[in-house]
Homo-oligomer: A and B are copies of this chain.
Amino acid sequence: MSEHVDKASMPLERVRRYLEPGPIVLVSSAWEDQRNIMTMGWHTVMAFAPSLVGCIISSSNHSYEMIRRSGECVINLPTTALADQVVDVGNSSGAEVDKFERCGLTAQPAEKVSAPLIDECHAHFECRLFDDSLVERYNFFIWEVISARAAVLPEYPETLHYTGDGIFMVAGKIIDRRDRFLPQML
């Protein structure tokens, strides 16, 4: 059950703020009357404008066909509070269960895509397929983020960064080095 959390839209070039640190994310998708969630750790920011994100979605995932057919998904950012749900999403198959129900996650309508948001997550990046030229060879999708929202607080939530072997690193502590940067590099 989700609690009410204030979330605000952000300019699309701010997506890097959340994804460049490399967190594990939950990708939600829908096609016809099906919906699903998968975990994803293999992604990278690719451009500010248009706001592009590249990622690997293996064709062995139940989500693959839904994502391929719809050409849409939502990248949701979970915090450490959702560590168990993240593991459970990665360790079950949408072919057998509805992962929203199984994992106690709440689907909410997105603004610009048919795929649902996962309300319990800290941030949501609605994506439309931008380039599928490397999908066949590498399962590499390039997405354009067309809408982005994040919880207003906390400013730097604790996020999960997967290392394999069931172990996550936690990021959340901040090092501020703004005063060491050249102004044009900020």
Contact surface of A with B, Cβ cutoff 8 Å: 14, 16-18, 20-23, 41-47, 52, 54-56, 80, 83-84, 87-88, 90-91, 131, 133-134, 137-138, 140, 142, 156, 159-182, 185-186
Contacts and interface: CB of A to CB of B under 8 A. Distances in A.
Contact of A174 (B56, B140, B169): B169
Given A22-B20, A44-B54, A180-B87, A167 B174 contact: yes
Given A21-B162, A169-B21, A169-B172, A87 B177 contact: yes
A119 to B, nearest CB: 22
B166 A180 contact: yes
Contact of A186 (B56, B165, B172, B179): B165
A41 B15 CA distance: 13
A113 to B, nearest CB: 22
Chain A to chain B: the 4 pairs with minimum beta-carbon distance, closest first = A22-B22, A166-B178, A21-B161, A44-B44
B164 A20 contact: yes
B161 A20 contact: yes
Given A21-B22, A177-B87, A180-B88, A47 B138 contact: yes
A122 B138 CA distance: 29
A140 B46 contact: yes
Residue with the highest number of chain B CB atoms closer than 10 Å, among A87, A168, A177 = A177
Nearest to A175: B168
Contacts of A18: 163
Contacts of A166: 176-181, 186
